[in-house]
Amino acid sequence: MNAPLITPDLVRLDVDFGGQPSEVIGHLAKLMAAAGRATDAAEVAAAATAREEKAGTGVNGRVAIPHCRVAAVNEPTLAFARLSAPVDFSGPDGDAELVFLIAAPESGGKAHLKILSKLARALVRGDFVETLRAATTEQEIVDAVLEVVNAEPKKKKATPAAPAASAEKKPEVIRIAAVTSCATGIAHTYMAADALTQAAQKRDNVELIVEPQGSSGGDPLEQSFIDSADAVIFAHDVAVRDKGRFAGKPVVDTPVKRGVNSPDALIDEAIAAAKDPNAKRVEATSESAGEDSAAASDGQPWPKRLQQAIMTGVSYMVPFVAAGGLLLALGFLIGGYDMANAWEALVLQHSPTNLPGHEVLVDGTAMTFERSGWALYLGAVLFATGQMGMNFVVAALSGYIGYGLAGRPGIAPGFIGGAISVMVGAGFIGGLVTGLLAGVIAYWIQTWRVPRWLGSLMPVVIIPLLTSLVVGLIMFLLLGRPLESLMLGLTDWLESMSGSSAILLGIIIGLMMCFDLGGPVNKAAYLFGTAGLSAGTDASFEIMAAVMIAGMVPPIALSIATFLRKQLFTPAEQENGKSAWLLGLSFVSEGAIPFAAADPFRVIPAMMLGGATAGAVSMGLGVGCQAPHGGIFVIFAYEPWWGMFIALAAGVAVATVAVIAIKQFWPNEEIQKAAAATVAA
């Protein structure tokens, strides 16, 4: 770092910076710009405010630490304000009186996270916070902050090997191994770690070492200390990594905030657990599943875990759909659409030295094709390769849902269940069901207590075998026929849609794609489109087209709007608008997220209106798409291609007009202030 992180001109004491977090952040951003640390105060303020709106940065002690990474910042910088009028930053104990704004360059890596973690750890110390409150000059603040931020991390005391530890340890001393983690891995992770450490240091009968699993890293606990520990504390909001290291230890499992607010109570509970032979113990679930197990999500509610598992299945399925779908489309492009009527015979009966002509004998019947020679043969090869990829789509969806719930032992039963779903005609709905069944059953079997000699066989033999057996029996004996009927009914309904019913479906798809721009609702619509591609029907291609075209609308519309009416958008949004159009053309709906996060009540309804228009026009024109991704760059996969352009243009036009109108007639005061400040500067 070339310049100090904070200087007196970046500090303000006992000031009124307004009543909203965005106002406080705006004033601190101006301090950075005035000190030459940032080229655009409005851009810094917009980025930090957008981050603040996602989750408040208030922490214990009536302190707030808003932060951002943005291109307008030259080097990691910290601005501070002690407020005379406290402001609500969603802190746990009231409005914030002390506010730090941390800004780092976009290319600054984890610099701002390290600053955050050091500040968070210091804020646990009452003396540091009191120093900030009692300071009479800006220089006192600077000295106090630099002392904690620039301090070298204390090296963890070396722990002896387990046998020596047990020999040397006094009978009355309780050893506690602790892990802390929070959703962002920044503030509460390290605050809880230091709160527990300080509480333990006040006791002569407790030896406690914490492993903070946060964004800026932390020393892992040595296995020798874990082995000699009498109890474990898990203060966490996300899954504990490598949980199997603690298998068999008495455990206190609690949210991370208790680690910050009630460290003494947690230590008392850990001591009680160490002395209780019936105390809850860490299960060896993640060890049985393997190190990359996704089953280590204990502590999360089951609905959330099921949702995450389905999203895991979708994310792993998409490459199969993408590769297979694009190869099918290329096969049509090169070999002609009639090639699909005999692709298997064209591939197996011919070769580069025996190219097919216009007329080919297929199962004793002569068939005539529009193309011949290399074009027909290569098209058939591409189509055959894509078809093999598409054959794995349902199995991949099912297999990786199983993986999302149970780790590696859930993969094989999930794939087998998916293959059974295809065999019985249950399609992707069956794949969803078998994936969830495989994951839940495999996860349950992992909890069985088995002899050590059998434990090594569990993840690679016993669990896949038993789970596959159960899933197969359930599908063949109970669920296969009902799911087949459900899938046939859905297919018949989609095939029968025309006119107003097809347009209504297009509207629903467009609304879903633009509601949360890459969130669960968007992903549900995308799953509906991509999973249906494996059916290969005209209806499934039309749904995929509506999904893709509607998803392209928001970034393109917002990009155009920033060019047409700059004054309605912040400088940061104007900058985002310069590249958002390309993201939109590539079908990356997330390109609109910065706009929606900064102004959701104006942007999201306008984008939903445009998406609904695009979906309706696409379905009304009968546009089909055989590729699951790529946007405008897979134009050869659309049929008719001109219909795609009409639907996209209609959706973009409606969304652009709507967002400009809403922002014009229902102005955003924060954006107006930012724009006015930019003009004044």
Residues noted as catalytic:
67, 182
As a whole number of angstroms, the distance between CA 667 and CA 407 comes to: 49
As a whole number of angstroms, the distance between CA 628 and CA 640 comes to: 16
Structure tokens at 333: 């492009």
* Helix H or strand E encompassing 208: strand 206-212
Q: Name the one residue in this structure whose structure tokens are 């109570």.
A: 265
CB atoms within 10 A of CB 62: 20
The CA-atom distances, in angstroms, between 373 and each of 13, 152, 164, 357 are: 81, 71, 78, 6
As a whole number of angstroms, the distance between CA 65 and CA 223 comes to: 34
As a whole number of angstroms, the distance between CA 35 and CA 24 comes to: 17
- As a three-state string, the secondary structure of 515-545 is HCCCCHHHHHHHHHHHHHHHHCCHHHHHHHH
Say if CB 84 and CB 24 are below 8 A apart.
Answer: no
Say if CB 621 and CB 643 are below 8 A apart.
Answer: yes
Crossing angle for the helix pair 302-335 and 373-390, nearest 10 degrees?
170
Say if CB 354 and CB 324 are below 8 A apart.
Answer: no
- Maximal CA-CA distance, the chain: 97
As a whole number of angstroms, the distance between CA 180 and CA 72 comes to: 33
**What Rg value do the Cα atoms of the chain yield, rounded?**
30
Helix (H, G, I), strand (E, B) or coil at 66: coil
Cα-based torsion angle of the residue sequence 638, 643, 646, 650 in order, rounded to the nearest 10 degrees: -80
Structure tokens at 193: 């770690």
Can the peptide bond before residue 594 be classed as cis, meaning omega within 30 degrees of 0?
no
